[in-house]
Amino acid sequence: MKRGDFVEFKRSGPVATVLGGLLKLFERDWDGWGWHLAILWEKRSEGWMILESVKNGVSLNYYPNKDLERTRIWLWFEELPTREVMEIFYKDHIGKRYDAAIYFWTVLQYIIRHYFNHRIPRLLDDRFTCWELVFWFARCMGKPIQSVYDCPIITDFLKVMEVGISPPGSDSAN
């Protein structure tokens, strides 16, 4: 575990269970294990400060090591992002509102992907879900996960992390 790695938390709670179940209808290969994503920010003696987007918005929260035992840690950067660049990202994003509307767009995205084999663009705004925050962080650190126009979905994240390459239709120039 190191600064800039991504954390996938085990799926729990009624909202994640219902929405994850719906997502599983389209992503039959998805194991359904995780749901929430975050960024390892700073190591502490008995845990980590983690940047995440939760219902109260983008915040930096402390997690003791024991709370991180039921997570998956994903390496995306070969070289650690510099503290200076991470600090700029932090200042630009801390306190931004949570993007609850993305759940509607995620469902719509999957219906259109499944039935029409097309992707709808992500709405560019200043609100973030946990998925959007992780995808945007990767882009700002110089190694995008997917095209800026795609609507971030956890299954896209997992496909990329497991293979280590950008998914079809991604465009690192955007």
Q: How many CA atoms lie within 13 A of 142 on its CB side?
A: 8
Tens-digit pLDDT profile for residues 82-108: 999 999 999 999 999 887 777 677 677
pLDDT in tens, 36-54: 999 999 999 999 999 999 9
Q: How far apart are CA 66 and CA 55, in angstroms?
A: 23
Give, for 87, the enclosing helix (H) or strand (E).
helix 83-93
Alpha carbon distance 68, 61 (integer Å): 12
163: Cβ contacts below 8 Å, ≥ 6 apart: none
What is the rounded CA–CA span in Å between residue 89 and residue 131? Answer: 16
State the pLDDT at residue 164.
53
